[in-house]
Structure 1
Amino acid sequence: MKSYKDLIVWQKSVELVTQTYILTTSFPDEEKFGLTSQLKRSVISVPSNIAEGYGRKYTKDYIRFLQIARGSLFESQTQLEIAFRLKFVSQEEAIKINELSLEVEKMLNSLINKLG
């Protein structure tokens, strides 16, 4: 593996960021500095921490950054659930993005277990 960009979990998490950013364009304007901003920050943290951990010298550091990425993923899952309950997101959109999020979660868990 030449780069963190070769990791499928990184690629899928970038796709999750892209879909989330597109999704939040339909959120109410009054949420611009609230849920919209928080959701964007948490979801973008996932591939960012995967990449940062990959660049670390020690496996323990890498695992720690993968755990941080997983925590950010859980945070974004919670925020997406809130957005769904507030009817900012349709059921169809929620299912689609949740499926991708769960796929990233499983991949992160697998990578953490493999390295640990």
Structure 2
Amino acid sequence: MKNYTDLDIYKLAHELAIKVHKMTMGLPKHELYEQGSQVRRSTKSIKDNIVEGYGRRRYKNDFIRFFVYAHASCDEAFSQLTMINELYFSNTELNDLIRRIQFIGSQNQ
């Protein structure tokens, strides 16, 4: 691998962050800077921690630590997205995004 962009987990996390960002722009205005902002930051944090961990791959402890951070951000994003789904999407419309987060989390253990 020449770059973090070659990592499948990064590609999945990046795609998830884009999809979540676009989805949150359709939330009610009062949620754009509450739940919307929080879930955008947590999904972006997943990919960003993967990138930072990859950049420190020569240092095993740092490498592992950033992948642990990515996993924690994945858990946070799952929690936020589940709540948004329950509040605004009748528990069905965001199931694909929720499954993606669960899959990324399972790959990052």
TM-score (norm 2): 0.93
Deviation digits for residues 33-62 of structure 1 (CA, Å, limit 9, x no counterpart): 211111111110001000001111301111
Shift in CA distance, 7/90, structure 1 to aligned 2, threshold 3 Å: farther
* Pairs within 5 Å for 1:3-18: 3-18=3-18
Q: Which runs of 5+ in 1 are unaligned?
A: 110-116
Helix, strand or coil at the partner of 1:93: coil
User: Can you give the 5+ residue segments of structure 2 that lack an aligned partner in the other structure?
Assistant: none
After superposition, residues 1-116 of structure 1 pair within 5 angstroms as 1-56=1-56, 57-87=58-88, 89-109=89-109
- 1:55 and 1:90 mapped to 2: Cα distance? 40
**What letter matches 1:55 in structure 2?**
G
- Amino acid in the other structure paired with 1:71: A
CA separation in 2, counterparts of 1:91 and 1:19? 17
Deviation of 1:90 after TM superposition, in Å, equals 4.8
CA deviation profile, 1:3-60 (whole Å, cap 9, x unmatched): 1110000000001101101111110001122111111111100010000011113011
CA RMSD of aligned residues (A): 1.1
- Contact 2:16/2:97, CA 8 A, preserved across alignment: yes
2:66 is paired with a residue whose SS is helix
